[in-house]
Amino acid sequence: MTYDLIVIGGGPAGYVGAIRAAQLGKKVACVENDRAGGTCLNWGCIPTKALLKNAELYHTLTHRADEFGLKIDGISYDWSKIVGRSRKVSDKLCGGIEFLFKKNKVDYIRGTAAIPAAGKVEVTDKDGKKTSYDTQKILVATGAKSRPMPGLPFNGKTVIGSREALTLAEQPKEILIVGAGAIGIEFAYFFNAYGTKVTVVEMMPRILPVEDEEVSAALEKSLKKAGIRILTNTKVTASKDHGDKVSLTVEGAANETLEAPMCLVAIGVVPLLPEGVELKKSEKGGWLDTDANYETSVKGIYGAGDIIGPPWLAHVASYEAVHAVEGMFKPGHKPKKVTTFPGCTYCQPQVASIGLTEAQAKAKGLKYKVGKFPYQVSGKALAIAETEGFVKIIYGEPHGEIIGAHIIGAEATELIAEMSLAVTMEATADEIEATIHAHPTLAEMLKEATEVAEGHPIHI
């Protein structure tokens, strides 16, 4: 059988690219060696959010019940059911992807793919049987996996990555987390909510280093108040797995040896490239190198998603896959590469942003003005007892275009959608102000922050 396109990888880039190609009338197959949905649906975005919702609810009932006039005696939790709920959510969505494949007539092939040559894909199934397929084009969307720490390999017990953290049979009493990016911070919040003693080690000067400095500082203050120990400007100089515990020697802001029965390593990811034909890779990180059309160094072979490098985000991966496929099969379509995108961290308080931080705007020599509005002044935030955080919008001068938006607080990851649309539509401060925002809502704060930037705030 000859295909128009074979997609290797069934994650947010792979399955979206396969379905879009099928919608364009092409004969498509998607090869996946695990389950449809990839890391995001199986071992990342979705199951972690299910766990985090559990943690948020448990924290509210145990620490804030009285605030809401609730009396709860003897509250407890079942760790296996907490983990089990997240797996059920993942299973349901992965089954949904398989349904979408059938609906769009995409052939779903289970196995490990290799590319012996352009136009050829060889799939090895779980029994070792190899099957060769011919195809006009290939889209590599194999993604990435957790980066191990030198000298401290993953073993699934004392040293774990994010995947193992999702299915722990027992809650650890204490855990060390190396890396304070989104993954490290989300798991720090999750474990801390249930009483696990958490220590986070980060070599950069602040947690969530890609976020605006004010946001990072506010979140660090909140997490420390919750009981999480955070060591920034701190480097791991030695590590050892003792079999029943892990020790880390750290230097910097702290100089000591840390010990815990478990260590979660969250220091980034490495590429998962298929075997076969040699494809050009980036000098830094070994990511798949692609041109403006998402085509690799071998004609007819394309790449999209995490495999082509940062940012490693599911929504970016899907965007890239759609543009790659439309560039292949949609006459006149000029693919777009990702330049501006929203980023989200789902701890509590949540963090979300798009565009430049204030430091980046300053470094570029841009003229700008900033509007900030605190949650504690929002009527809706007061009503739902979520007054921690703020909205910060950076507007360019003299035209008033949005060059950056940063939110920390309740539902920040939902609120950022308006700012993302505004950036895409090239909306200005005048247009945000002219848009009537429903009252009472948290979204009103985006308008309020804009009024602050324009110099005529009403409610602050």
SS3 415: helix
Residues in the annotated binding site for NAD(+)? 179-186, 202, 268
pLDDT of residue 60: 96
Annotate 81-114 with b (16+ C-beta within 10 A) or e (fewer).
ebbebbeebbeebbeebbebbeeeebbbbebbbb
Residues 6+ apart with CB under 8 A from 117: 276, 277
User: What is the pLDDT, as a whole number, of residue 407?
Assistant: 98
Residue 439 is among the residues annotated as catalytic for this protein: yes
Range list of β-strands (E), 180-331: 197-201, 229-231, 234-241, 246-252, 256-260, 263-265, 269-271, 275-276, 301-303
Pair of tokens at residue 45: 């975005």
| Structure-token match 């993954």, residue found | 183
Which of helix, strand or coil describes residue 300? coil
Percent of the residues in the chain that have a pLDDT greater than 90, as a whole number: 98
Residue limits of CATH 3.30.390.30 in the chain: 349-454
The first and second tokens of residue 305, run together, are: 């998603």
Angle between helices 79-103 and 14-23 (to 10 degrees): 20
CA 102 to chain centre: 28
pLDDT on residue 371: 98
Q: Provide the pLDDT for residue 1.
A: 72
Contact 169, 156 (CB under 8 A): no
How high is the mean pLDDT of the chain? Answer: 97
Element (H, E) at 315: helix 314-329
Residues 6+ apart with CB under 8 A from 207: 180, 185, 200, 216, 219, 220, 223, 230, 232
SS3 398: coil
Q: Amino acid identity of 216?
A: S
Note whether 194 and 171 are within 8 A (CB): yes
Q: Is the separation of the CB atoms in 315 and 308 below 8 Å?
A: no
Instruction: State how far the Cα of 377 lies from the Cα of 429, in Å rounded to an integer.
Output: 21
Biggest CA–CA distance in the chain, Å, is 70
Contact (Cβ atoms closer than 8 angstroms) between residue 115 and residue 121: yes
- Residue 322 near residue 328 (C-beta atoms within 8 A): no
CATH 3.30.390.30 fits 349-454, yes or no: yes
The tens digit of pLDDT for each residue in 375-415 reads 999 999 999 999 999 999 999 999 999 999 999 999 999 99
Q: What are phi and psi of 15, to 5 degrees?
A: -70, -35
**Domain 159-265, architecture per CATH:** 3-Layer(bba) Sandwich (3.50)
Q: Which two tokens stand for residue 441?
A: 């809502």
At 372, which helix (H) or strand (E)?
Answer: strand 368-374
Kind of pairing, strands 246-252 and 256-260?
antiparallel
Residues in the chain predicted with pLDDT less than 50, given as ranges, are: none
Strand residues in 62-196 grouped as ranges (E): 107-110, 112-117, 120-124, 130-140, 144-146, 159-160, 174-178
pTM, entire model:
0.96
CATH architecture for segment(s) 2-145+270-329: 3-Layer(bba) Sandwich (3.50)
Contacts of 221 (CB under 8 A, 6+ apart): none
**DSSP H/E element including 183:** helix 182-193
Residue 253 pLDDT: 87
Residue 447: how many other CB atoms lie within 10 Å: 24
- Measure the CA–CA gap between 222 and 348, rounded to whole angstroms: 9
Q: Which of 59, 399, 439, 459 is catalytic?
A: 439
| Cβ–Cβ under 8 Å, residues 251 and 258 | no
Backbone conformation region of residue 407, classed left if phi is above 0, alpha if psi is from -120 to 50, else beta: beta
- The tokens for 126 are 């779980």
Q: Could you tell me which of 303, 20, 252, 292 has the C-alpha nearest to residue 139?
A: 303
CA proximity to 353, closest of 290, 435, 416: 416
Q: Is the peptide bond before 271 cis (omega within 30 degrees of 0)?
A: no
Do the beta carbons of residue 192 and residue 226 sit within 8 Å? Answer: yes
The predicted structure's pLDDT at residue 254: 86
**Could you give the residue range(s) of every CATH 3.50.50.60 domain in the chain?**
2-145+270-329, 159-265
Query: Which pLDDT does position 195 carry in this prediction?
Result: 97
- Whole-Å CA distances, 176 to 185, 198, 392: 12, 6, 32
Q: Which parts are annotated binding residues for FAD?
A: 49, 306
